[in-house]
A and B are shown apart, each in its own frame.
Chain A
Amino acid sequence: MMQPKGIGRRDFMRAGAGIVSAGLAVAQASGAQNAAPDAEPYKVHWYPFTEHPDSDTCWSLSVGPDGRIYAAACAEGVPGGVVKPVRYNEQKDGLDYLFNLAEMVDDPGDSGHATQCKIHYSFAPSMHDHVMYMATHLSGPPIDLPVYNPWYSWHDKKRLFRGAALLAFDTQHDRVLWWDTMIPKEGCRCLLHDEERGLLYAISYPRDHFFIYDLKTRQRRDLGRIGSINSQTVFLDRRHRVWTTNDYGHLVRYTPDTDRLEISPDTLPHANYQTGWHSVFYDVAPAPDRECVYASTWCPNPHLMRIWPNEGEWPRIEDLGPATQDRDLTFPVDMFRDHCGGLVFGGDGKLYYVASRWRDPVYNPLPPPHKEREGVVWRLDPRTLERTEVTRLVHPNGFAHYVSRGAVDHNGDLFFGHVGSNPCGIFKVSMPADRKRENAHLPIRMWG
């Protein structure tokens, strides 16, 4: 179905939850390899951003150096909207609102410029000093305009986004240590911290440039453009090389020794009817032993994959197959409906992730009480690659199928950031006792 004229890029995310049809046949999701167990072992709880009612998205959720969960209450659809970082408080079983980030970086929501509206896969921890770095992204319109387009306003000094703000938050003392404009005029799409070398790596939007920020000198370097479609993740290997993707699904590697961005000859796994175009990283989770990573793509019919960056001239890549269901191949399913994110290793050494499932009269006629769209939490055994559906995320009045990021806290419980409801929020999935462990978040993921 075509989007009605005038529907914005994000509007489709807010499609109503009430579209429920009855009398449909039993679900037959093609991705499922095991039936869903009862929900009790993986109890789901929803934490809406009630103290930030403008929030409409949660693009970042990460575990901090303190083992607690941090999330971004973003407000990108609201003129003048700003992002407020929150933290899960296990004592009160609720959220603490840390600060208004726009005010902290002297770029308030009513500036007339595009706003500091969100943190987009850009939390990055620093273990030695207990700092959580966070960098902002753009798209929130100025307070007196309905939308912001960075291409349209690139040369407009009155409306232009000031730039991605990098902020260092001391998680021990709950204070902002410093901030800087990391990428002028552009947003930060994703962020990585190489703690041993004191460097942050980022990809900018909209120009898709690769940036290196030196935390000691607070100087940035622009390594230039990668392409047109942002990868949504950068990750680090043992040799301090930084990996991401380009428009055509090739790996892009930055090697500090050569100071070059290079492109792999092969493409990432993708559906066989596709070319690899748009197979950019969505989410990448490191295996606990750091020998490989697990990734999903930001592409219709996203595939899961396992990548071994420490092997060979270019990594060995294993295609773990599609993350979501079969579909009509003549219809371009949108990437909001067809989605896989929230990749995180639990304390049990298994990979958890959330993949969407949606009603399709031919390929997946989900009957009630299933909603039209669902977010399914999967557990993947890295040894056998067996996948098990462990629970479904349940939103009180909307869909819960689009998870941006997942993280495990120091207690071993899972958390997932969610996009598409208003106000937005995060999910907690309480892990069964035998699948938890203390300090399950270690070794910590160093990228957003």
Chain B
Amino acid sequence: MQTKSKLRFDPNSPRIKEYLDQVHHHTFMGEGTMVAFPTCLPGMTIQIPLDESHITALAAAPDGTVYGATSGRRSHLFIASLHWLNGIVFDLGMPAGATQGAAVCCTDAGFVAFVNGARGGRAISAPLLDLAPEDLIQEWGFERPDLTDHGECVAGEAVVHAVVDASRKTIVGTTTRHIFTMDASFKVHVVAEAPGNGRIAVASRGGIFGRDEGATLWRYDPASQSLERKAVKLPEGFGDQPPLWATDRHTGVLYTADAQGTLYSFHEGQGFSGPLGRAPLAPVGPMAVTFDGRVFGFCGDEMAKMFCYDPAARTVSNLGVAVSVLERRRYGYVFGDAVTGRDGEIIFGEDDNGGHVWMYFPRIRDARA
């Protein structure tokens, strides 16, 4: 009989002990708590089908409910009401022919989802719902709202992204070739021809910024309805990276990352900060800002890891792979969008088969420390 193999390391060495500590305690969610919520009323309705549930767009309404859109074989629109006596992801329906949810906006006139399919990107609207009076423990009774199809925003062009301005009356969006606005009566106005690339964001003074040609951003001012091309130069390192943004609601500061995962802040009027730190992996995916200014997001493809940028400490930390052991036991690998929830929790949309709405509750800081 052959002899057994001998170890080629000292199991009691500091290197091995450190490795084991990292594996056992820092692979998954080293800080805070994740809860994966299925796209249904758990125990009562079925989830959005496996291949129709990639959550790619989210928007938070003022009352804390979250509206979203999925991508896949068919696109679904939904509302996630995870507070009060609710606890439901309510499937609002499937716009005919839609396979991609590009953006969702919550305006005073209702929510508007921008969906793509065989034709150009279309706007679909419905009133905002108030589910707070519903008691989803005892008994309930609400109806699915009618979805209104406002047609293609720009004929033959897919919608890339859209946001609502600070007044919550005007939507600014991009298609693959144009910038457009949509007013409170859902009428579309083409602003200019410009390549749509990545997401756009509302900055601290109300200007809306999107990726422009070259390493620049355009700026659109909703008040004056004016567009400034190549208004801001991007820091080096962005390459062709489609930008993603996170907004600090309190300060209006935007956060973004370049192709290497280097994080920057952007303040309208002041421009970009210097490098704030580097996410553990690239590319950086969706991120959002909690009430105390910390930025939480995902980085890395296929199996993303969560990171935290703490502006007070100016540190970036790796929080590990997302996992939920409350409500649903599920790993989270790919995320499509993020918004800040009612109480500062971060809501992530899972861009995967069987995608869930994930709530991340950051660790509470010790204010006395």
Residues on A lying within 8 angstroms of B by beta carbon are 50-54, 78-81, 143-147, 149, 151-152, 154-155, 185, 206-207, 224-228, 246-247, 260-263, 265, 277
Contact = CB atoms under 8 A, between A and B. Distances in A.
Interface in B310-362: 321, 329-331, 333, 352-354
Given A225-B333, A225-B352, 18 more contacts: A50-B2, A53-B1, A53-B3, A53-B4, A54-B5, A79-B9, A80-B5, A145-B9, A145-B19, A146-B19, A151-B28, A151-B331, A152-B26, A154-B321, A224-B50, A224-B51, A226-B353, A261-B353
Given A53-B4, A54-B4, A227-B354, A149 B51 contact: no
B7 to A, nearest CB: 6
B9 A277 contact: no
B302 interface: yes
Contact of B8 (A80, A149, A207, A261): A80
Contacts of A277: 329
B72 to A, nearest CB: 9
Contacts of B51: 224, 260-261
A246 B50 CA distance: 11
A261 B23 contact: no
Given A53-B2, A146-B16, A151-B28, A263 B49 contact: yes
B27 interface: yes
A299 to B, nearest CB: 13
A158 to B, nearest CB: 12
A155 B331 contact: no
A118 to B, nearest CB: 15
B259 to A, nearest CB: 16
Which of A52, A155, A185, A226: most chain B CB closer than 10 A? A155
Nearest to B3: A53
A51 B2 contact: yes
Contacts of B214: none
Contacts of B333: 207, 225
B8 A147 contact: no
Interface string B290-307: 000000000010110100
A144 B9 contact: yes
B20 interface: yes
Contacts of A224: 50-51, 352-353
A78 B331 contact: no
A147 B20 contact: yes
A155 B281 contact: yes
Given A227-B354, A228-B331, A260-B73, A146 B20 contact: yes
Interface of B: 1-5, 7-9, 11, 16, 19-20, 22-23, 26-28, 46, 49-51, 73, 281, 300, 302-303, 305, 321, 329-331, 333, 352-354
Contacts of A265: 46
Contacts of A246: 354
A151 B321 contact: yes
List 10 tightest A-B contacts by C-beta distance, closest first.
A225-B353, A224-B353, A152-B27, A154-B303, A149-B23, A151-B321, A144-B9, A152-B23, A53-B2, A53-B4
Nearest to B324: A228
Contacts of A226: 50, 353-354
B303 A155 contact: yes
8 contacts: A146-B11, A149-B27, A155-B303, A207-B302, A227-B330, A227-B354, A228-B330, A262-B50
A143 B8 contact: yes
B9 A151 contact: no
Contacts of B20: 146-147
Contacts of A50: 1-2
Contacts of A154: 300, 302-303, 321
Nearest to B16: A146
B240 to A, nearest CB: 22
A263 B9 contact: no
B331 A145 contact: no
Contacts of B352: 224-225
Nearest to B1: A50
Contacts of B4: 53-54, 78
A227 B333 CA distance: 11
B310 to A, nearest CB: 22
B27 A247 contact: no
A60 B73 CA distance: 36
A206 to B, nearest CB: 7
Which of B28, B51, B73: most chain A CB closer than 10 A? B51
B357 to A, nearest CB: 16
B336 to A, nearest CB: 14
A152 B5 contact: no
Given A54-B5, A144-B9, A151 B27 contact: yes
Contact of A247 (B3, B22, B305, B329): B329
A262 B353 CA distance: 11
A263 B38 CA distance: 15
A54 B329 CA distance: 34
Contacts of A81: 5
A149 B73 CA distance: 33
A122 to B, nearest CB: 22
Contacts of B5: 54, 78-81
A415 to B, nearest CB: 22
A144 B73 contact: no
B354 A225 contact: yes
A141 to B, nearest CB: 10
B16 A145 contact: yes
A152 B7 CA distance: 22
A263 B73 CA distance: 15
Nearest to A207: B333
A117 B22 CA distance: 23
Nearest to A150: B303
